[in-house]
Every structure is written in C-alpha cells, then in structure tokens.
Structure 1
Amino acid sequence: MNPSTDRRPGPVARGLLSFWAPSTRSMRGWALASVVANAGITVTGAGVRVTASGLGCPTWPKCTPDSFVPVAHPEVSMLNMLVEFGNRLLTFLVLAVGAACVIAVWRMAPRRPALVRLALLQPVGVLAQALWGGLVVRSALNPFTVGTHYLLSTGLIAACWLLYARAGEGDGPARPAVHRDVRRLGHVLLAAVFALLVVGVVVSGTGPHSGDEIASRFDLDIEAVARLHADVAYVVVGLTFALLFALRVSGAARPARRAALGLFAVELAQGVLGYTQYFLAVPAALVMLHVLGSTLVWIAALRVVTSLRVRDPLPAAPAPSPAEAPAAV
C-alpha cells in the first residue's frame, strides 16, 4: 500500500471540504451549527443586558466616537465596554457560519433551490440584525427595539432549523406524517409558543435589567404582565400535553412522539426556572438561563412541527427512449 495515496485529509482540509464539496451529512452539520450560533448570540445578548452593558459601546458602528474597538472612556466602564464589544464580535462568527451554509448549498450537486433560498436568509438576516442593533444603541435601549432584536433572532433560528430539516429530506411535496387535525394542533402550538415569546419580551421590557440605567421601560404593571406570561405558558403546556396524547392514541411515528416529549420536558424545566427567577427577585444569572430556556423551547417547538410531515425525493425523470434520442453528429 502506498502511504502517499492512503493519506487522509487533515482537520483543516476536512473542514473546507465539508462546505466546498458537501455531502448531505456535512450540509446538515453546517445548518445545525447555524442554529447553535444564532441561539448562542441570543443568549449572550441577554448577558449584555443583565450586566448593564447595553451601552458599553455608546456609538454604532464604532464602539466609541473615535474608535471601532474598546478604548478607555471616562463615562463607560471598560468591563461593560468589553462585554458589549464581545457580543458585537460574535456577529462575525454567526455571519461566517451562515456564509458556509450558503457556499455548501450552492456547491451541492444537484443544487436544491429550496435550500439555497433558506441559506440566503442567514447572511441577509445577520446583516439586518446588525443594522437593527445599531438602532438599539441609537435609541438608548428602547424596550421596543430591544425586544424586536430578540424576536428577529427567533426568526433567524427558525430559518436555520428549516434548513437543517429540509437538508435531510427530499424535494417532493410535503405530506402529513400524522392525521391532518394532529398536524393542525402542532401549528397552533407553534403559534402559541411564539405568542409566549412575545409576552416574555414585554415582561423583559417592563422589569429590571434594562441594559443601562438611562434605558426606558414599558409603562406597564409588572405583576400584570408576569401573570399574563404565566397564563400563556399554561396554554402552551396544555397544548403540548394534548399533542402528546393525540400522537400516542393515533399511533404516530416515533420521531414525532419523541419531539413532542422533548418539548414538554423543556417547557417543564423552563417553568420551574421561571418561578424560581420570580421568587428570587429576578437575579441576573437566572435571567440568562431563562433566555436560554426560551430559545430551547422555540427550537423544540420547531422540531415538533417539522416532525409532523415528510417529504419524498422527487421522482427521477424517465430516460428518453432510443427513438427519441437525438442522433449523434
């Protein structure tokens, strides 16, 4: 055996090949990496808020009026500046992963237009988020702009998850993997989870941890919005339990039942964390964990919905008969 021809590519070469000469497995790996990256920057964004570092870099796109990187500033703590600047730097990591997804779907053979469209949403979404982040800074952390920043992230996570799910499927028409009414229940559940996230944003914009002492707050009763948040959470848990029951009695496939059970478990953990956070007067560390939990609930809900349908490969085009084949010239 010739060692020179049996040499396996190194880790750098394998990494390049994973998106330059992608397989279905490597394509799904990059899509999953994009889910993780977007979820991660969502959680670190909460870290910026709870450490009061929201205006650590008081200008945008520069960190200070005279520099793109942190420099000593008489009115801003260097620690706050580094926290905010670090979160800005993570944007480039998320953008790089999104670019790798675009290259991978473009290089796939055959090229799949549905995957190309989903992958292109990532760099476009990241750039839109970066511009919106500038508005967040320029509005002095207005709770509406901060909350919208989070909700835009949930949209990006949804696009990344759909890319991951679609990369492992065919391109044929979607067909239900469960009864039509069960699938509708799954869609209602997803809408309820999104409503829960929206109410959670209102709670965050009303309560403490505004990101900076000069940031404004929603003029709402925190007790009332917290109770509303809990009520919507009960609806979500009830819908999840109903879906679990429906999947069980209808004999649904194992992937759908496992996805629903995973969502139910994450919801219960998030509920325990939410009540603990409330009774401990909303400590910063638990706020970050709660944002992580809400992101995991959203991803788990997306997983449930995509498990309720399947796609078959498109039928291969029939080969032309010899009589229809053009004569060789």
Structure 2
Amino acid sequence: MTAADQQQRVPAEGRPAAFADRMRERGRDLFHSVWAPTPGSIRRWALASVVVNVGITVTGAAVRLTGSGLGCPTWPRCTPGSFVPAPHDSHSPVNMAIEFGNRLLSFLVLAVAVACVVAVLRIAPRRASLIRLAAVQPAGVLVQALWGGLVVRSLLNPVTVSVHFLLSTLMTMAAFALFARSGEGDAPPRRLVHRDIRTLGFVLVTAVFVLLIAGVVVTGTGPHSGDVAASRFGFDIETVARLHADIVWVVLGLTFALLFALHVTDSPGRARRGALVLLGVELAQGVLGYVQYWLAVPAVLVGLHVLGSALVWIATLRVVFMMRDRGPLGAAVPVRGEPDDVHTL
C-alpha cells in the first residue's frame, strides 16, 4: 500500500488532528534548534538571515516599483491614528497593503535575527566571533526601522531611499559572514592563495560596493520614484546610467583577472569555482541591466535587477571567504606565537 493510499484511508475527521500534530512537532524542532542549538542549526539560522535580508531588499524595491512608497503615509503608524491600513483618500488600498506588508516583513527579519542571537548564546562553547556577528542583525533591524521612518517623513527623498538600500546590503554582508564563520573554526586565518590575489579579492569587494552605490544613484534618478510626491536626483539619467555601466565593466575585468590568477596559480578548486560562479552571475546581471535599459526600465525587470545585485554581492563575499581557511569546527586554536607554515592574513 502506498503512502497516498494510507492517507486516503485516514478518516476525514482525523486529518486535521494529524496535521496539528505535525505542526507541533515541527514547532518543537524549531524551538530546539534555537534553545538547544548545534553548529548545523546555527548555520541554518544564519542562512535564513541571509535569505530574509535579501527578501526584504527585493520587496522594498517592489514597494517603490508599484508606486506604493507612501502607501502608509505616516510612521510609525500606517495612517494617522492607525497602525494598520485604514481608508485614506490619498492612497489606494492596494498600495497601502503593499507598503504595510513590507513593514510586516521587518518582524520576520527581526524574529530570525533574535533566533540567531539566542542560538549563538546558547551553544557551548560560546564563540565570541559569532556573537558579534549575530548581534548585528537585531541592531540592524532597529536602525533600518528608524531609517524607514525618515524615508517616509522625507517623502521618499532619493538620498534616504538610497541609504535604506545600502543598509540592507550591509546587513546581508553581516548575515553572510555569520553563515560563513559558523561553518568553520576559530583558528588564525590562513591564506590559501597568494597575498596579491587575496588583495585583489578585497579590491573586487570594494568595486562591487561602489557599483551598488552607482546603482542607487541611477535608481534615484530614474522614473520609479515610489510615489508622485517623491523627489528625484537632478542628474541626467543617460550620464549616470553610462557611469554605472562603466563600473560594471571594471567589476567584470577585476573578476576575470581574479579568476585567471586563481587558475594560473593552481589555487584551491573551491575558490576557482566560486570565482567562476561570480563571473556567471555578473554576466547574467549585466545582460539584464542592458535589456532593461533598452526596454525603458520596466518595473518587473528592475525588480529582478535588484535581486541580481544582491546575488552579485553575496557571490563576491563568498569568493573572498573561500580564499582563506580557519580550520575545522571544534579544532584546537593554536597558541599565539606558535609557528605556522602557512602565511596568515
């Protein structure tokens, strides 16, 4: 008898009870993953933090792209006198629902952030590096919430909107660092590649962050303001778009140089594969950027471009982490000053 047949034989009145039992069991497992964590469960929570931070970045872009930036025209309330959407003459119910939904998503990001903090505090032995990285998450949510109020009160001023996006980028970086560090030990970092290649990796990270800054300038100059009342940067859109494209080519050149250097020096395979993945993501993002420009930046493609920017950022950070090693989990930490046959960072 198949599982499907067995399920069909379960009385209809028993199915809700069975479903409730499964939900309770999953809830217990979720609780234990935080209160009685393992290195694996901490790593999963860190990955969840990366996902929700990228998610709220993309949904934040969706708020702007649907013209819902002032769907909730006040802060911290949604409308004057109400924390939840209420009929308002200036905004449609759809716009209000989209903006309020994005605000609610902040609580999911906060919940995952708190889970990360509790998990790293509960595991034995405690790791100070993980505690510091996990603490960034709830602190970042608080800063973002307060800054979001400034975005609303400034009527979506492009400067405040741009900083809002860049703060999410930094939170994603901290979440990814927590994910990477939770899967390795606390030994002194050892370079797995030549020092100059490692330096090139840091230069690439800087270039990608500059690219993200250029991207928000283009966004703040372009047509998707988030609301008719929002102001725009006073730049020429073609000029800033071309500057953005020029930086894209610089990033691609640095990535190709990194990939070439990793191959000719016979660096670890995971680093070479990571650089190849990064190059592939960048090429896909570049093609998408040119297509959206040729099609007069349709909202759907802009949203995908925002997602692509987050993926490029994560892939860049991933390569940098792959170019050094801190030993396996649980390994004894060498005494400071102990000789080491591999150069440290």
For the criterion TM > 0.5, the same-fold answer is yes
Q: TM-score, normalised by structure 1?
A: 0.92
**Corresponding residue for 1:264?**
279
Matched residue count = 310
**Corresponding residue for 2:169?**
154
The answer to whether the 8 Å contact 2:187/2:334 transfers is: no
**Corresponding residue for 2:341?**
none
CA distance in 1, matches of 2:217, 2:250: 18
Matched, 1:315 2:333: yes
CA apart distance, 1:137 = 0.1
Q: TM-score, normalised by structure 2?
A: 0.88
**Corresponding residue for 2:192?**
177
State the secondary structure of the residue aligned to 2:162. helix
CA distance in 1, matches of 2:332, 2:215: 41
State the secondary structure of the residue aligned to 1:55. coil
- Kindly report which structure 2 residues correspond to 1:182-193, keeping only aligned pairs within 5 A, or say none: 182-193=197-208
Which consecutive aligned stretches of 4+ in structure 1 deviate over 3 angstroms post-superposition?
Answer: 313-317
Identity of counterpart residues, as a percentage?
A: 65
Two-structure CA RMSD over aligned residues (Å) = 1.3
CA distance in 2, matches of 1:314, 1:297: 34
The answer to whether the 8 Å contact 2:188/2:334 transfers is: no
CA distance in 2, matches of 1:297, 1:76: 35
CA apart distance, 1:20 = 1.1
Question: 1:245-285 CA distances to partner (integer Å, 9 max, x unpaired)?
Answer: 11111111111111111111110100110011000000000
Tell me which moved more, 208-217 or 18-27.
18-27
**Corresponding residue for 1:12?**
27
CA apart distance, 1:316 = 7.5
Match of 2:147 among 132, 141, 148: 132
- Kindly report which structure 2 residues correspond to 1:46-195, keeping only aligned pairs within 5 A, or say none: 46-195=61-210
Which runs of 5 or more residues in structure 2 are unaligned?
1-21, 336-345
CA apart distance, 1:315 = 3.2
CA distance in 2, matches of 1:89, 1:258: 38
State the secondary structure of the residue aligned to 2:79. coil
Matched, 1:214 2:229: yes
CA apart distance, 1:210 = 0.3
State the secondary structure of the residue aligned to 2:325. strand
**Corresponding residue for 2:15?**
none
Amino acid at match of 1:64: T
Question: 1:152-179 CA distances to partner (integer Å, 9 max, x unpaired)?
Answer: 0010001000000111111111111111
CA apart distance, 1:10 = 2.6
Which runs of 5 or more residues in structure 1 are unaligned?
1-7, 318-329
Tell me which moved more, 302-311 or 82-91.
302-311
CA distance in 2, matches of 1:253, 1:232: 28
Matched, 1:224 2:210: no
